[in-house]
Amino acid sequence: MSELLPTTARLLLARTARAQRDSRLPSLLTGIVRDGSLAWSAGRGAVDEPHTDVQYRIGSITKTITAITVLRLRDEGLLTLDDPLDDHVPGTPFGRRTVGQLLAHNAGLRAESPGSWWERVPGTDWPTLAGQLDDDDAPHTAGRRFHYSNLGYGVLGELLARRRSRPWTEVVRDEVLLPLGMSRTTPRPDGRAAQGWAVHPWADVVLPEPEHDAGAMAAGGQLWSTLTDLARLGSFLLGDTGDVLAAATLEEMAEPAGVDSAAREWGAYGLGLQVVRVGDRTLVGHGGSMPGFLASVFVDRAEQLGSVVLANATSGLDGTLAADLHEIVRAAEPFVGEPWSPTADADGLELAGVWYWGTYSYGLRLRSDGLLDLVGLLGSGRASRFRPRGDGTFVGLDGYHAGEVLRVVREGGRVVALDLGSFVYSRTPYDEQAPQPGGVDTGGWRAG
């Protein structure tokens, strides 16, 4: 364990204590993930010891577990994100919506399942839920807008059960939870578990909240977990994916696909992950709420830092707590990255340097990790990173050119241009030796 300095721990404890007291939470657990493990934790209020092993409901953090499992199917070739739902779970009124849209909450489905509010009543099985669905359960055009949908993740749970021919709970347990060592994450409370409470908004009294099996909606928010287990999930999000998921797939999960325009700060959604911009940093993870419980796990991948928050109250948790925990550690113990070292592969050296797309100037830098960085010079231009594909071409990772292929154009063995999705980059502006679309005026550059 990479423990924090006593002064840092004191600041984190003070912030945790203030949140528990001011938010009137029966109990509050907080933890910091660093160097692949739980580096610090604290419990305040009525919490059993050891606090790191007490289960709390984690609500929609369950969606991240569900998304990881669906993407495992994709990586195995058992489905694609463009598959219509009817290919895997036929018979719904929104069968033309795709798996990827369901994962990203832009399939246009309603937020909750039909019938009584599923979070406070015993759940039904899939045939019963499916029999209640109608056209009103898809109020938005597919792909048109972000609209958070618990129903969509209930459907994804049924997809997992059908593709693996066993219950969703067994699939996520055997394919994600146990391989990651999250043995204390279970569908229902098991062993030491906190009681969920509703705190009266105008009096310091509490009321027990009900807890039931969510049935067909379980994949959207059923799981219970501990501080230790969620710290392991935080390490996963920081890149320690083990054999559960490829690193490239985790990157894909964290790529924003739908923007939450209702968020007070910059907020978006990837594939089973929330992506939040706070100041100059980006946090990736998920929050969760169920009657009687609130939770979050968020990581800053640039700083290799994560936080976990668990509380047993229906509402009231300080919304800035997770970000504040990050900021305390970031300010007190700044991240020290790996030292720079020269690249071991200079094969791309002939591509490095200044390039021009029309009259826009760019710098192309070969990094020690083998990526190419395209950066705009003179204050403008579309920046992107590119990964080699092993066949002499490169694929864009972000920005305008994400997914676009960069091809090297040679003449007589010499590099004369770069073709980036039909955009031609040359060593001088509108270089006549490069295959410029539309040609170059024969009169050349002139005063006017």
Burial of 234 (0-12, 13-18, 19+ CB in 10 A): buried
Q: What is the pLDDT of residues 343-384, one digit of tens each?
A: 767 677 899 999 999 999 999 999 988 899 999 999 888 999
Average pLDDT of the residues in 53-58? 97
Those residues with Cβ within 8 angstroms of residue 108's Cβ, 6 or more apart along the chain or in another chain: 94, 97, 101, 138, 139, 140, 141, 142, 143, 144, 145, 147
Decide if 124 is inside a domain.
Answer: yes
105 alpha carbon, distance to own chain's centre: 13
Are 392 and 318 within one domain? no
* 256 within 8 A of 55, measured Cβ to Cβ: no
pLDDT for position 46: 83
262 alpha carbon, distance to own chain's centre: 18
Q: What is the pLDDT of residues 113-160, one digit of tens each?
A: 998 899 999 999 999 999 999 999 999 999 999 999 999 999 999 999
Are 415 and 305 within one domain? no
The C-alpha atoms of residue 110 and residue 77 are separated, in whole angstroms, by: 29
Instruction: Residue 241: name the closest of 233, 230, 252 by CA.
Output: 233
Decide if 391 is inside a domain.
Answer: yes
Residue 317, domain CATH: 3.40.710.10
Rounded to two decimals, the pTM is 0.92
| Choice between 177 and 343, residue whose per-residue pLDDT is larger | 177
The C-alpha atoms of residue 82 and residue 116 are separated, in whole angstroms, by: 32
The C-alpha atoms of residue 71 and residue 66 are separated, in whole angstroms, by: 9
Q: Mapping DSSP to helix (H, G, I), strand (E, B) and coil, where does residue 312 land? A: coil
Decide if 435 is inside a domain.
Answer: no
Are 326 and 365 within one domain? no
Letter string b/e over residues 299-332, b meaning 16 or more CB atoms within 10 A of that residue's CB: bbbebbbbbbbbbbbbebbbeebbbbbbbbbeee
Decide if 53 is inside a domain.
Answer: yes
Decide if 443 is inside a domain.
Answer: no
Tokens of 326: 């990050």
Report the number of distinct structural domains present in the chain: 2
Q: What is the pLDDT of residues 166-176, one digit of tens each?
A: 999 999 999 99
pLDDT for position 264: 64
Asked whether the predicted pLDDT for residue 427 surpasses 60, the reply is: yes
Residue-range definition of the domain harbouring residue 294: 6-332
55 alpha carbon, distance to own chain's centre: 23
Q: What is the pLDDT of residues 208-225, one digit of tens each?
A: 999 999 999 999 999 999
Asked whether the predicted pLDDT for residue 326 surpasses 90, the reply is: yes
Amino acid at 328: I
Are 138 and 252 within one domain? yes
* 193 within 8 A of 224, measured Cβ to Cβ: yes
Are 304 and 411 within one domain? no
Q: What is the pLDDT of residues 245-304, one digit of tens each?
A: 999 999 999 998 877 666 667 789 999 999 998 888 999 999 999 999 999 999 999 999
Are 390 and 270 within one domain? no
Are 164 and 250 within one domain? yes
pLDDT for position 261: 61
Are 318 and 363 within one domain? no
